[in-house]
C-alpha cells in the first residue's frame, strides 16, 4: 500500500498555502521509509508511556520533522501536532487528556498503516487491568521516591567524604601526622583499659591490710543474725540448714571487712579466690566452703560433728 502523504505535494492552491505559512522551528531531517516507520513506532510507544505517566509527556522526545524518501514516493512528515499534544497531556488534571492521547494514537496508527505497517493490536480492557495489577505488585515496584532522611544522610556522607579527603590531603603534605595519630589512639586505648582494670581490681580484690577492727557494724549484725539462725536450726537438729547459715555468716563477716564488693552472683569458690593466697583466712574459708558444698550441693547427710566443725571454722575466721 502506498503511504498516505501527510505533507506531500498537494494541488497548487494547497502548495501556495503551505509556502505562505511560517517555516517550522524544527529543521527537516532526511529519512528513508524504513527509518520513518521505525520513528512512528517509537512515537506510538511514547504516547502510551505518556498515557501511563504524565512525566513521560516530553515534547522534546518527538524528534525532528522528516523529509521521507522512498522508492517511488517523497513527502514531508511534520510532528508539531504531536508536540502540542504531549505538551498539553503533561498536565494530569487536563479534562480531555485521555481523548487527546487517543486521537494521537489513532493518528500514528493511520500513518503506520499508510506506510504499510500494521498498527499494534490493542489489548482488551480485562487484559490491561490484569497487566496493571501484575505490575503493581511489590516485586515490580523498584523505583521509590527519595525521602528527606535519605537526602540528609546523603549530604552528611558527602560532608564526611570531603572531610576525610581533606585530612588525607593534609597527610600527604605532612607524612608525620599519620604515625602521630596512630600512636595517640593506641596510647588512649591503653590508658582507658588500664583505668578500667584498676577499677575492677579495686572493687574485687581484698585489701591486704584488712584488720578485724575495720568491720562494719551492719555486717556484724548480719553475721550475728546468720549465726543465731544456725543455732536455732541446730537446736531443731536441722544440721544441713545450720551449716548453710554458718557459711553465710562467714561470707557476710568477710564482706563487712571489705574483702570484696557486695555481690550475690558469685559462687562459693569465687569468694575463696578473692581472699589473699596463703593467708589463714583463705585456708579457713576454703575448708568451710568444701564442707558446705559437700553437704548443701552434694546433698550428703549432715551430722552434729559437721555442724561443730563449721562453727569452729567460723569462730576462727572471726578471730583471724
What secondary structure does DSSP assign to 161-209, as a single string?
A: HHHHHHHHHHHHH-TTHHHHHHHHHHHHHHHHHHHHHHHHHHHHSPPTT
pLDDT confidence band for 20 (50 / 70 / 90): very low
Rounded mean pLDDT, 269-298: 92
Q: Which of 140, 165, 190 is the last residue of a domain?
A: 140
Predicted pLDDT of residue 5: 41
36 and 130 share one domain: yes
Residues 124 and 244 in one domain: no
Dihedrals phi, psi of 82, to nearest 5 degrees: -75, -35
Same domain flag for 19 and 89: yes
Rounded-to-integer distance, Cα 44 and Cα 105, Å: 6
The pLDDT, as a whole number, for residue 171 is 66
* Residue 257 clears pLDDT 80, i.e. is over it: yes
Q: Do 33 and 126 belong to one domain? A: yes
Place of cell 583505668: 195
216 and 254 part of one domain = yes
Do 233 and 179 fall within a single domain? no
Domain shared by 224 and 115, yes or no: no
Q: Which of 251, 269, 268 is CA-nearest to residue 260?
A: 251
Q: Are residues 17 and 136 in the same domain?
A: yes
Same structural domain for residues 189 and 291? no
- Give percent of the chain with pLDDT exceeding 70: 80
CA nearest neighbour of 278 among 215, 208, 211, 213: 208
Residue 190 domain boundaries? 175-204
User: 22 lies in a domain?
Assistant: yes
In 70-150, the DSSP E strands lie at 74-77
Residues 184 and 236 in one domain: no
Average pLDDT over residues 33-56: 89
Look at residue 5 and tell me if it is in a domain. no
The count of structural domains within the chain is: 3
Under 8 Å CB-to-CB from 286, ≥6 apart: which residues?
272
Confidence of residue 240 (pLDDT cuts 50, 70, 90): very high
Residue 12 has pLDDT above 60, yes or no: no
Q: What is residue 29's three-state secondary structure?
A: strand
Q: Do 22 and 136 belong together in one domain? A: yes
Q: Considering the domain boundaries, does residue 86 fall inside one?
A: yes
Q: Is residue 152 one of the residues assigned to a domain?
A: no
> Looking at the domain assignment, is residue 148 inside a domain?
no
228 with 184, same domain: the answer is no
- Give the pLDDT of residue 73: 77
Cα gap 227→314, rounded to integer Å: 9
Please report whether residue 3 resides in a domain.
no
CA dihedral (249, 254, 257, 262) positive or negative:
negative
Last-in-domain residue among 204, 221, 248: 204
Looking at residue 191, its pLDDT comes to 95
Q: What is the pLDDT of residues 57-112, one digit of tens each?
A: 999 999 888 888 877 778 888 999 999 999 999 888 888 899 999 999 999 988 88
Amino acid at each position: 500500500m502506498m503511504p498516505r502523504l501527510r505533507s506531500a505535494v498537494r494541488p497548487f492552491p494547497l502548495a501556495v498555502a503551505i509556502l505562505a505559512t511560517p517555516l517550522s522551528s524544527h529543521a527537516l531531517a532526511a529519512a528513508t521509509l524504513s527509518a520513518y516507520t521505525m520513528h512512528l513506532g517509537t512515537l506510538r510507544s511514547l504516547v502510551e508511556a505518556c498515557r501511563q505517566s504524565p512525566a513521560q509527556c516530553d515534547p522534546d522526545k518527538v524528534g525532528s520533522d522528516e523529509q521521507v524518501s522512498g522508492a517511488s514516493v517523497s513527502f514531508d512528515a511534520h510532528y508539531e501536532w504531536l508536540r502540542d499534544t504531549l505538551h498539553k497531556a503533561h498536565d494530569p488534571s487536563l479534562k480531555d487528556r485521555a481523548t487527546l492521547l487517543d486521537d494521537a494514537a489513532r493518528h500514528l496508527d493511520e500513518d503506520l498503516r499508510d506506510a504499510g505497517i500494521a498498527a499494534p493490536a490493542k489489548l482488551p480492557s480485562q487484559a490491561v487491568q490484569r497487566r496493571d495489577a501484575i505490575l503493581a505488585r511489590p516485586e515490580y515496584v523498584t523505583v521509590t521516591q527519595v525521602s528527606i532522611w535519605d537526602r540528609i544522610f546523603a549530604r552528611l556522607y558527602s560532608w564526611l567524604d570531603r572531610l576525610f579527603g581533606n585530612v588525607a590531603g593534609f597527610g600527604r603534605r605532612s607524612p608525620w601526622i599519620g604515625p602521630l595519630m596512630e600512636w595517640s589512639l593506641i596510647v588512649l586505648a591503653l590508658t582507658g583499659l588500664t583505668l578500667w582494670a584498676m577499677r575492677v581490681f579495686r572493687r574485687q580484690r581484698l585489701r591486704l591490710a584488712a584488720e578485724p577492727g575495720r568491720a562494719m557494724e551492719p555486717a556484724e549484725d548480719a553475721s550475728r543474725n546468720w549465726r543465731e539462725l544456725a543455732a536455732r536450726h541446730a537446736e531443731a537438729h536441722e544440721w544441713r540448714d545450720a551449716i548453710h547459715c554458718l557459711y553465710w555468716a562467714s561470707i557476710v563477716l568477710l564482706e563487712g571487712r571489705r574483702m570484696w564488693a557486695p555481690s550475690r552472683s558469685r559462687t562459693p569458690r569465687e569468694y575463696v579466690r578473692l581472699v589473699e593466697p596463703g593467708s589463714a583466712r583463705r585456708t579457713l574459708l576454703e575448708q568451710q566452703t568444701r564442707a558446705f558444698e559437700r553437704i548443701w550441693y552434694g546433698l550428703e547427710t549432715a551430722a552434729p560433728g559437721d555442724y561443730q566443725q563449721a562453727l569452729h571454722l567460723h569462730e576462727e575466721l572471726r578471730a583471724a
